């Protein structure tokens, strides 16, 4: 569970979320809050973590995806400025994180404003504040 949202993985690898969604942390393509579980736009999920305002998931292939608030770059993404030239502060759909060596990601944990990931080789990567 995150600050005010929850992630659930079903037996088929589907990822579901509910709760507060104002920063896109539900991963359902909008910034709406949901009282009932709705499907996250990502398949074949084997692990997930919810931060205070952001979320992360690992797919069966070992790829890491993040979404939600990015005000401290806790998503681990190098996001280009939006059309107004301002940094992108949130994503409402999962986006793959690159730059973690050549091995698959095995673990992820989201804090309030940071994210940690561990690869199969035992390498630890972190992003955000803290």
Sign of CA dihedral 11, 12, 18, 22: positive
Q: Is the pTM of the predicted complex or chain greater than 0.75?
A: yes
Q: Where are the domains of the chain?
A: 5-128
Cβ–Cβ < 8 Å for 118, 101: no
Contact call for residues 64 and 105 (beta carbons, < 8 A): yes
Tens digits of pLDDT across the chain (130 residues)? 899 999 999 999 999 999 999 999 999 999 999 999 999 999 999 999 999 999 999 999 999 999 999 999 999 987 666 666 666 789 999 999 998 887 899 999 999 999 999 999 999 999 999 7
Q: According to CATH, what is the number of the domain 5-128?
A: 2.130.10.30
Q: Which residues contact 122 (CB under 8 A, 6 or more apart)?
A: none
């Amino acid at each position: 569970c995150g600050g005010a949202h929850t992630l659930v993985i079903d037996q088929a690898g589907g990822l579901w979320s509910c709760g507060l969604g104002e920063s896109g942390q539900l991963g359902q393509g909008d910034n709406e809050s949901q009282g009932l579980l709705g499907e996250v736009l990502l398949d074949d999920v084997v692990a997930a973590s919810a931060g205070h305002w952001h979320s992360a998931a690992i797919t069966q292939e070992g790829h890491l995806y993040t979404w939600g608030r990015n005000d401290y770059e806790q998503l681990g993404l190098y996001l280009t400025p939006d059309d107004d030239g301002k940094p992108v502060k949130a994503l409402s759909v999962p986006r793959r994180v690159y730059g973690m060596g050549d091995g698959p990601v095995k673990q992820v944990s989201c804090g309030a404003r940071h994210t940690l990931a561990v690869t199969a080789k035992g390498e630890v990567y972190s992003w955000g504040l803290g």
